[in-house]
Chain A
């Protein structure tokens, strides 16, 4: 199985915020923390585009690179997670992330930062799968229940796709071919790097 990835199809997103609500409800995310949010470009102008943004679980995650206490780790499925018992709430990851994914509690005393919180791809944290401790700190571990992230599975227009990178890319490709437009995949180049172009072998090259 390939690594887990998110795709948001800007041609389909209707800015309903269902993904945001699903994430909040599934993971008991408190006020002031938005693991996922919908961003609208050219809001109010004809042809506006909306995209649902959260942690993209980057291949070469900048948050992991800058963390001074090395609290991040990557699972075998390519999900970038962090250990809240090690996080010191410095906020470096927040500055490094191109998607604005790391969240810090903003309610409470002035300047309070607390532990960083972000999308876990519904994969919990370092505590035992499905345990109360994991649920309290990181939210639901849907991957260990044989499910995909709640935001993607609840998306009413299926604009947000989450799961095996190869499969979601295939689903998106089929859509683009059928509708003949909207091939831009927001954030994919930033999160997963540019696709490697394999040179098309000409018949003569094949013979060699």
Chain B
């Protein structure tokens, strides 16, 4: 009698373990790409690597700086 109860208990445990694999877990994506941080012209902590003739924080000045650097690649304009 006791052995039968034991066998039933073991059977129930094995069944529970086997059926656990059938569980449905949510697979929704909870991590999202953070996306761009600050714009490149925004002033960050004063960087020692700023281009020598440009200080951060001014969009127009940044665009002018990028245009200047772009023309540095133009050997017909030197």
Q: On chain A, which size bracket covers the interface?
A: 35 or more
Which residues of A sit under 8 angstroms from B69, Cβ to Cβ? 146-148, 153, 163
What's the minimum C-beta distance from B27 to chain A, rounded to whole angstroms?
11
The answer to whether A96 has its CB under 8 Å from any CB of chain B is: no
What's the minimum C-beta distance from A178 to chain B, rounded to whole angstroms?
7
The answer to whether A144 has its CB under 8 Å from any CB of chain B is: yes
The answer to whether B17 has its CB under 8 Å from any CB of chain A is: no
**With A69-B29, A130-B44 known to touch, is A146 a contact of B35 (CB < 8 Å)?**
no
Which residues of A sit under 8 angstroms from B70, Cβ to Cβ? 148, 163-164, 167-168, 171
The complex places the Cα of A175 from the Cα of B72 at a distance, in Å, of 14
A159: nearest chain-B partner, CB-CB: B73
The complex places the Cα of A152 from the Cα of B69 at a distance, in Å, of 10
User: In the bound complex, do residue A130 and residue B31 qualify as a contact, i.e. CB atoms below 8 Å apart?
Assistant: no
Question: Which residue of A75, A130, A141 has the most chain B CB atoms within 10 A of its CB atom?
Answer: A130
Task: Report the number of A-B residue pairs with Cβ-Cβ less than 8 Å.
Answer: 107
The complex places the Cα of A146 from the Cα of B50 at a distance, in Å, of 6
Which residues of B sit under 8 angstroms from A43, Cβ to Cβ? none
**With A76-B39, A144-B56, A146-B54 known to touch, is A167 a contact of B33 (CB < 8 Å)?**
no
Q: Which residue of A147, A153, A158 is within 8 Å of B75 (Cβ)?
A: A158
User: In the bound complex, do residue A127 and residue B66 qualify as a contact, i.e. CB atoms below 8 Å apart?
Assistant: no
The answer to whether B25 has its CB under 8 Å from any CB of chain A is: no
User: In the bound complex, do residue A83 and residue B33 qualify as a contact, i.e. CB atoms below 8 Å apart?
Assistant: yes
Instruction: Enumerate chain B interface residues (CB-CB to A < 8 A).
Output: 29, 31-42, 44-45, 47, 49-51, 54, 56, 62-63, 65-67, 69-76
Between A and B, 10 residue pairs with Cβ closer than 8 Å are A1-B66, A70-B33, A85-B34, A130-B47, A144-B40, A145-B47, A153-B69, A158-B75, A167-B71, A174-B74
